[in-house]
Amino acid sequence: MSCRTAGPGLARWPQPSPLLSPSLSQQLSLSVPAGLSFPQPPPSPPAWVAAMGRKRLITDSYPVVKRGEGPAGHSKGELAPELGEEPQPLSVDEAELELLRQFDLAWQYGPCTGITRLQRWHRAEQMGLEPPPEVRQVLQTHPGDPRFQCSLWHLYPL
Amino acid sequence: MFSEQAAQRAHTLLSPPSASNATFARVPVSTYTNSSQSFRLGERSFSRQYAHIYATRLLQMRPFLVSRAQQHWGDGIQIKKLCELQPGEKCCVVGTLFKAMPLQPSILREISEEHNLLPQPPRSKYIHPDDQLVLEDELQRIKLEGSIDASKLVTGTVLAVLGSVRDSGKFLVEDHCFAELAPQKPAPTLDTFVLLVSGLGLGGGGGESLLGTQLLVDVVTGQLGDEGEQCSAAHVSRVILAGNLLSHNTQSRDSINKAKYLTKKTQAASVEAVKMLDEILLQLSASVPVDVMPGEFDPTNYTLPQQPLHPCMFPLATAYSTLQLVTNPYQATIDGVRFLGTSGQNVSDIFRYSSMEDHLEILEWTLRIRHISPTAPDTLGCYPFYKNDPFIFPDCPHVYFCGNTPQFGSKIFRGPEDQRVLLVAVPDFSTTQTACLVNLRSLACQPISFSGFGAEDEDLGGLGLSP
């Protein structure tokens, strides 16, 4: 039997659900680094970086209910971060690492294991696939750092 | 051609010695460029998967196949990826072929304890009526059925199929096409010859082939025959030895299983054979430029592309700059004519996994799919390239040869854009005593056989240069 995914009707990346409060979807769109877009995988979804965004729980949209104090009388800290609190901004390093991770996972540029990210970027450029230049800039600002230069799975004996 | 030229001069043998000796200068090498840099490996790293080769192969071949598909089936056909297919819709898909063969030797099946299988004896062909074709692109794979001949095709071919996907999940093929020939530059016309020999098989223990080899060397260096033959031999501008210079017997592995104290004084069989080869190359390279390609049984690496033999093995012959040790596959431009050839491993591997019988037909087929050895990482050892696949034809050669075939064959193949290629199947010299002479002007190929006079043929024995 053959294996085929379902037709183009199923979007690859989860769309923001309309049940979420408007502020959350605003936060998702705010977290998109300006001016960055990878080529879209077929079928065409929204910019995948925006959709991936940062990790948020669905329960963040529910109103926080405070329980009463425990039997020992000590009050626990907040049970969940309150809605309306600004998401922890990613440090520059983490944002760049996330960018490189997404470059590794993009299927258009071929397999990513066994070669460094810079080698993969140059191969994609020579094949005419137009890899994003931001990836190269990030790789050039961190030479010698294996977290940046090597692929996501470089520690595994693949 | 060679012998017609020879016959035109007056016979001078058996005449009284003359004061002046005729000397013939060999045709000078006008232009020679070795274009095999893509087959040289610098620093080698084997810590990579072979997925990179297949990915780059598909990426590089996709534009060629898209344009061919549009030429064959019209501009209006839709070219889709496998994930975009709709059932019942006629479209064209480009992908790599995989042939699932039950008889293919599989190490996993052999060592699997639950099957209790003995290792399979080697067969000449591993094809079976139950072979199944699967088309793979970057993301998915799909089984193929319909008007596509599974017995002829091999794994690793990149092709475009026209058809539609059925409800059963299989793709029903109506038509398929290959990348066909690459564009070709026009060739200049120079009246010189190139000699192609393969399978010298030294160290094999047979005295018959040594006589033939010596006759070959003597003809090329102009020490045999009348002035006519010597004049013709002066027109040979290059000799290409296409692999298997050593015999299969030099690869005996008995000494590996024996204890060290028993094998201490024994020498590897290839040492004597390499010494013989060095002497032959010395005689040849003193007179004519020689290109030596390694083959399956030669002391170099096993995986394709095979790297040149090391010059330290030929202390006598490397004194001459006319000796060139080159890679397998080998690509060069000799006097403006592009040569491309291998030592035959690619063709014999396709022979094992396909129903095609004639080596010349397989050679033509590799030219049509625009790939030298499609079975390369699957059943034929290959270096794990990642940047690009060097076995794809960047442009069309004028002479395309493969060595170590069971018999001689040559053919002119015409491509769709008026490309003209001379296909030569160079036979194994140790069994057939035949070499090939290629005329660069007319792009015709003539066999020369050096069989000894013990044979049953009606010829004058000896040179066999007469037609």
Q: What is the pLDDT of residues B145-176, one digit of tens each?
A: 998 888 999 999 999 999 999 888 899 999 99
Residue B81 sits at the chain A interface (C-beta within 8 Å): yes
Average pLDDT of every residue of chain B: 86
| B412 to chain A, closest Cα gap in Å | 33
Contact A3 B140 (CB under 8 A): yes
pLDDT of amino acid B217: 92
**Which of B43, B59, B145 to mutate: most A Cβ within 10 Å?**
B59
* CB B148 within 8 Å of CB B95: no
What value does the mean pLDDT take over residues B47-59?
92
The angle at the Cα of B300, spanning B299 to B305, to the nearest 5 degrees, equals 145
Segment (H or E) for B264: none
Contact A5 B56 (CB under 8 A): no
What residue has token string 């005295």? B207
Q: Name the residue of chain A whose CA is nearest to B171's CA.
A: A2
Q: What is the pLDDT of residues B267-325, one digit of tens each?
A: 777 888 899 899 999 999 999 999 999 999 999 999 989 999 999 999 999 999 999 99
Q: What is the pLDDT of residues A128-142, one digit of tens each?
A: 999 999 999 988 888
Say which of A4, A115, A126 has its CB closest to residue B142.
A4
Say which of B59, B83, B169 has its CB closest to residue A42.
B83
> Which has the minimum average pLDDT: A81-90, B50-59, B370-379?
A81-90
Contact B388 A111 (CB under 8 A): no
Assign 3-class secondary structure to B316-364: CHHHCCCEEECCECEEEEECCEEEEEECCHHHHHHHHHCCCCCHHHHHH
pLDDT of amino acid B279: 93
Tell me, yes or no, if the pTM score tops 0.80. Answer: no
Q: Please list every residue in chain B whose beta carbon sits closer than 8 Å to the beta carbon of residue A8.
A: 83-84
Question: Which band of pLDDT confidence, cut at 50, 70 and 90, is reported for residue A82?
Answer: low
| B44 to chain A, closest Cα gap in Å | 13
Q: Is the pLDDT of residue B410 over 90?
A: yes
Say which of A8, A110, A122 has its CB closest to residue B56.
A110
Contact A115 B52 (CB under 8 A): yes
pLDDT of amino acid A19: 45
**Which of B38, B44, B49, B52 to mutate: most A Cβ within 10 Å?**
B52
Q: Please list every residue in chain B whose beta carbon sits closer than 8 Å to the beta carbon of residue A3.
A: 140-141
| A82 to chain B, closest Cα gap in Å | 42
Q: What is the pLDDT of residues B331-386, one digit of tens each?
A: 999 888 999 999 999 999 999 999 999 999 999 999 999 999 999 999 999 999 99
pLDDT of amino acid A36: 46
> Which has the minimum average pLDDT: A44-53, B34-43, B172-181, B441-450?
A44-53
What value does the mean pLDDT take over residues B171-186?
90
pLDDT of amino acid B452: 64
Tokens of A130: 């137009």
* CB B419 within 8 Å of CB B395: no
- Count chain A–chain B contacts defined by CB atoms under 8 A: 61
DSSP string, B194-205: EEEEB---BTSS
> Which has the minimum average pLDDT: B34-43, B202-211, B449-458?
B449-458
Tokens of A149: 């230069």
Average pLDDT of every residue of chain A: 67
Quote ipTM for the complex. Answer: 0.82
